[in-house]
Structure 1
Amino acid sequence: MDVSNILASHAAKYQSVTVEKETPLEVDPGLLMVTDLNPIEAETYNENLEEHLQSLARDGVQSLMTSLFSLPTKPSPDGPLAILPPPVYQLPRAKPLPKPKPLTKWEQFAKAKGIQHKVRDKKVWDEEKQDWVNRWGRNGKNREVEEQWIHEVPHNADVDYDPRKVARDERKERIVKNKKQQEQNIARQTSTRERKQEIEKTLATTRMSTASMGKFDKILEGEKKIRGVKRKFNPNEEPVTNEMKASLDLLNKMESDKKKMRKDPRGEEGSLNVRKAVKFASKGKGGVALGRELSSGKGRGGGKGGRGGKR
């Protein structure tokens, strides 16, 4: 029985999983990327573009799947998962790296003392119960002292001394202290960020105050480039009508300022400080006291006679 035709049709229907090309495909399973460096066949491309693209895509996906199935796997609830290797190609980032957050007060202290951070487990072993219990929360290890059935009372304690209440108050004080320190850390980070923004804004304003808009100023280390700030200059060659219009506008402005000064003349009386004069004349007593003195005649005629009496 000749089955060559059947095998040929089967082979044509199901292509081989091995992709053979003049230039082997470069597969990077870490990025799930395949690079085909073979030149494009012009005849196949012009004859049937869709079929040509499908063939290229099929070869690339087949090479990628072959490399994935050759990787080591690990079990998971959804089935075996392939462990991807580190990527070969270094792709550029779309955005810059995030800036590191400022260290908290405790992190600065731990860094100076060489203290390493250790993540505490949520469960701790209880020797009495011989079981794992919660470290915090309901029935937690931190409430062990206040929930125990017997307590040690100091000799100098008061009659109404309650050890459970004392232990509970100490636990609440620790909670309040930790919360206060957390709020201080958040406020310190916020103030540092706001201070930095204020400095950048002040620096940008200072740059714009120069004639060149900061173009020729010395750039500080780490300073950002100011964008969107340009100084406009009039062209060197422009029509005479524009220059004449600018001169007329200047003359009109000067004339309007002159008219305003005429409407609001300021002579000697306008420049006199009345309050200062009244204060000086009344020797600091005020205008009412000065008026009373003038009406009573105390301010008239000086000399030894006081009120200017007859000699």
Structure 2
Amino acid sequence: MDVSDILAAHEAKKKAVVVEKDIPLEVDTGFLTVTDTNPVDSESYEVDLEEYLMSTARDGAQTLLASLFSLPTTSTDDGPLAQLPPPTTQLPRAKPLPKPKPPTKWEQFAKAKGIQKTRRDKKVWDEEKQEWVNRWGWKGANKDKEVQWATEVPANADPDFDPAKIARTERKARVAKNERQHLQNLARTEAHAGASSANAADKKQYIDRTLAVTRASTASMGKFDRTLEGEKKLKGIKRKFEPTETSAENEKSQNLAILSKLDKNPSAKKSRTGESSGNDVLNVRKAIRSASRGRGSAALARGGSKSRGKR
């Protein structure tokens, strides 16, 4: 077999994997998926279900493999390696995207001062040991003052001065301070989330209340207004209308009820002095106001004394 025969066989193999359908298959090489949107052939489906499913799966696999072999490859020790392209299918999420966390006090301070965040290395160079050691943790560089064999002691130090103990106390104080600040940041984040949810609930109640007032401001009390999507039905007191035509007995009972209310004495109203004036046969205040022509009891008394003096 010469070179021409090999090339012809290769071309025939490439043509053999081409799947032709009424609706082209949708291939997402990034997710290694093939979607077949063609309608189901009911005749083939009912005649031999297993064969129909195998042929459909074979067409999808051939199309996916053809798309994979068309990708550019790079040679590695394990053989040719193809880089998958970014996915094109938007998959639905089970939960909404997480909300960004509010910045901590240090992040706010760094942003105000223009401080760039730099990540500190976990290893530091020890000049004495001539090797890289951990910055924190087991045998960390932050414990050098606690384990060193010689420590300078101030001249005015107490006889019980222990530099290793003091260094250990300061280190634990720094750890406690960092933990306290971490807890404060967590509490501030939870408070911010709670305030956001409370503000959202208050805003929703305000919108619902405003919408209800707007609905009731029309002539039809919102009966013929177009409802919005997701809008709840307004709840209120339903007006009850009596029928225009009633029996003689009902009309008689209604009129008697009105007359009984008219026969009752008005509710007792207390004056400024605390005395009841509604149950008296004569309303004294009204009589004084009528006799003095609205000037009051003092004016009435003065008028009576003048009239006696003239007589």
Asked whether the 8 Å contact 2:74–2:81 carries over to 1, the reply is yes
For 2:17, the equivalent position in structure 1 comes to 19
Cα offset for 1:86? 0.6
Q: Tell me the distance in 1 between the aligned counterparts of 2:104 and 2:229.
A: 31
Contact persistence 1:17–1:62 (CA under 8 A): no
Deviations 1:162-221 (A, max 9, x none): 22122112111211111111111111111112222222333344445558167699xxxx
Alpha-carbon separation, structure 1, partners of 2:216 and 2:145: 70
Return 5+ residue gaps in structure 2 as ranges: 1-12, 218-227, 247-253, 262-267, 276-311
Alignment partners' CA distance in 2, 1:131 and 1:207: 66
Distance 1:226 1:165 in 2: 69
Q: Which stretch has the larger CA shift, 103-112 or 226-235?
A: 226-235
Is the 1:29–1:67 Cα contact (8 Å) retained in structure 2? yes
When residues 215 and 102 of structure 1 are mapped into structure 2, their CA distance, relative to the original with a 3 A threshold, is: farther
Q: Supply the AA of the counterpart residue of 1:171.
A: R
Per-residue CA distance 1:200-258 (angstroms, 9 max, x = gap): 333344445558167699xxxxxxx996743136889x8857xx9xxxxxx9xx99xx9
Q: Is the 8 A contact 2:17 2:66 kept in 1?
A: no
Shift of 1:83: 4.5
The yes-or-no answer on 1:177 pairing with 2:147 is: no
Determine helix, strand or coil for the equivalent of 1:149.
Answer: coil
1:154 aligns with 154
Instruction: Indicate whether 1:186 and 2:189 are aligned.
Output: no
The CA distance in 2 between the partners of 1:173 and 1:35, in whole Å, is 61
CA distance in 2, matches of 1:214, 1:143: 70
Match of 2:31 in 1: 31
Match of 1:54 in 2: 54
- Decide which moves more: 194-203 or 169-178: 194-203
Q: Which residue of 1 aligns with 2:224?
A: none
Is residue 2:234 matched to residue 1:231?
A: yes
Contact residue 18 and residue 62 of structure 2 kept, 8 A = no
Aligned length: 233
CA distance in 1, matches of 2:15, 2:213: 65
Q: 1:187 & 1:33 partners in 2: Cα distance?
A: 44
Q: CA deviation at 1:34?
A: 1.5
Unaligned regions of 5+ residues in structure 1, if any? 1-14, 218-224, 245-250, 259-264, 273-311
Question: Aligned partners of 1:187 and 1:240: how far apart in 2?
Answer: 61
Counterpart of 1:127 in structure 2 is 127
CA apart distance, 1:36: 4.1
The 5 Å alignment of 1:144-293 reads 144-209=144-209, 212=212, 229-232=232-235
Amino acid at match of 1:165: K
Normalised by the length of structure 2, the TM-score is 0.56
Alpha-carbon offset, residue 120 of structure 1? 3.6
CA distance in 2, matches of 1:226, 1:185: 39
Amino acid at match of 1:54: M
What's the C-alpha RMSD, in Å, of the aligned pairs?
4.8
What is the SS of the residue equivalent to 1:21?
coil
User: Would you say the 8 A contact 2:26–2:35 is kept in 1?
Assistant: yes
